[in-house]
Structure 1
């Protein structure tokens, strides 16, 4: 044992303390002495013992009573007590154990037995302390997590099941209706209901793909190496066509998009570039009103490709911007929207793995601009 352990010896005979001190002198122990039970109890806070060696036969308050009082205090219940006794009947030993003693040593004291029992009790105490420390760390972690639960909107625990169940219920409910009454439906009704199923299936598919992409990015640190060899062409014509088609599918007018784009060869794959574009535009559409302008700009500056998406939506506070992360959605009770708050976290992770820069500038209830910088192809 490398730690210095505090041992309190309680005995009305000072000579007995000298004997114990001699027996344990070669060990890494700090010994303290109390001449009676009252002094022992009073000195607990000062000595903070890891172990107590208690003589049973003492005047005024015997060792069994002192042991009971110490063990009745929750603060000291975990401190092992070894009773040192000349008594050897089974009833006497039973009284010691019933009082809360953890072990006992019979007089006359055997040096080998003394060192072995002290060592054993201190090892148990150290293991308990280690477990207690770990428990406190876990408790503090849980408290921190619990303190933020009310602020986390769309967390995995509270939103994932809802986002999965909603499209699943739509699919299952529509199929159930079709099975029950398809013979009495005309083809237009059937087509309409199949459209509902298709919408729900696409929503479920998009959510699943997004979540799998998030796991892929977060669980593979070595993936950064693959970014160094990736490359794709950022073509203004292709991007404009792709994003106009994307917002149309989101039931938003293509005219809401305004572009000012510069072509570039960037060090990122087609897949990740498309993910970035879709997620940034999706957020701009989701959090701004139809008919307001969404600006998408790109330009090359200092060997970096800079892309920005600007909307005139509800914006974010400084605190919300600082807490952009997985499964976080802000003000969800006020503004109902689909999703689990994962999009910006995915974009941020892709940009970081590509060796780029991710930043958000926002004015609450007015506007938001997401800026990213990506390295050009070598």
Structure 2
């Protein structure tokens, strides 16, 4: 069975990719950090057991960002040939150019569109030693293919679950499970952002906001997602002058989103 490794600090991102690819008999293995992928800090590298045909690599991660991971991958004789597709919600032109110059072969913006991911993986593996992935996704080699029209039945309050519902092919029980994963973690993630803001630690703000942004992007709450992205950027640039104001806006929005999602779970 062909294998794709996703390197992302977001557990939810890995669940989404699994739901997209596993119905096509593609195994998905999750590495939650560069250390897990490469075997750093005494960890056993995931690639020792899983021989990936492609790697999906988040561009912004704690400890070591995707660009640094990509450099290390391309310096390793055993891993350098593997096609690497970058995942990011910060898909600037410069990010694209930097990643391509370092050896990436593709780029997918978050939240991940199922058809775009399949098309990209089929494209980058076709005609390579890893063509088993392209064969598994042969129906998606037409780049003009579009996903079905989004359903309107799951829009409510501050959330819109149509994105996940489409990925899950209408599997409401699995949708409830994924909402539950988010509910279990989101207030802790907000707590991490709050602590970083109180400590005045810009890099911790960046990391915590990035992790939360990656989670919330799947739940149809663009205002929350964009505010988390702004806070991530402020942390990256070390400009925390009005970060407390952004946090004061974020917290009640997340509380409302949490309540809406909890109400949906309780009623289904």
TM over 0.5: no
Tell me which protein shows more helix as a share of its residues: 2
- Normalising by the smaller structure, the TM-score range is 0.3 to 0.5
Q: Bigger radius of gyration, 1 or 2?
A: 1
Q: Normalising by structure 2, what TM-score?
A: 0.45
Tell me which protein shows more strand as a share of its residues: 1
